[in-house]
Amino acid sequence: MKGWMLSRSQNNGLAIEPAGWRLRKRSGDPAVLVKAMASKDPTSQLLAAVGLARVGRPEGLSVLMASVELVPDLTSRRLAVQALGELADERSAEMLIKLASDDAHALNEAAAEAIGHLGKSKHAEAVERLLIRLADGSGGVAF
């Protein structure tokens, strides 16, 4: 009977994702996600950081940036890159531009999409040049 039971981190993730949805769609309380940021479970931290980023709250920025570099699961790393794009915080711009510029990097396409959110930042010219290069097919990603 234990085969159907969720691990503690999976169970926490099931509670955190709906909290992020409620925050985004129904103006929910961010306190649940902010509290989840203090969890010792990296999956819970990542899901909470993603939920906060999707509503423009930077509390999870360091978790997202660390996840891009340190999490072994590529899907989780892509999720972190997408959330960084949605957050559009200038502190992550250099990381996203570097990833999008590296044609051989596994996160290249996710980063290319994410940097589109940085169009109004101080990095706008670099973002524009990179996106034009990618669209022209000069890079590893063409739109």
Q: Is residue 121 classed exposed, middle or buried when 0-12, 13-18 and 19+ CB atoms within 10 A define those classes?
A: middle
Query: What long-range pairs does 14-19 form, CB within 8 A, spacing at least 24?
Result: 16/44, 16/47, 16/48, 16/51, 17/47, 17/51, 19/48, 19/51
- Check residue 68 and give its pLDDT: 97
Taking only the tens place, the pLDDT of each residue in 9-68 is 444 455 787 777 777 787 777 888 899 889 999 999 999 999 999 999 999 999 999 999
Neighbouring C-beta atoms of residue 140, cutoff 10 Å: 15
Taking only the tens place, the pLDDT of each residue in 67-103 is 999 999 999 999 999 999 999 898 998 899 899 889 8
pTM, to two decimals: 0.76
> Distance (Å, rounded) from C-alpha 62 to C-alpha 40?
15
User: Residue 136 — very low, low, confident or very high, per pLDDT cuts 50/70/90?
Assistant: confident
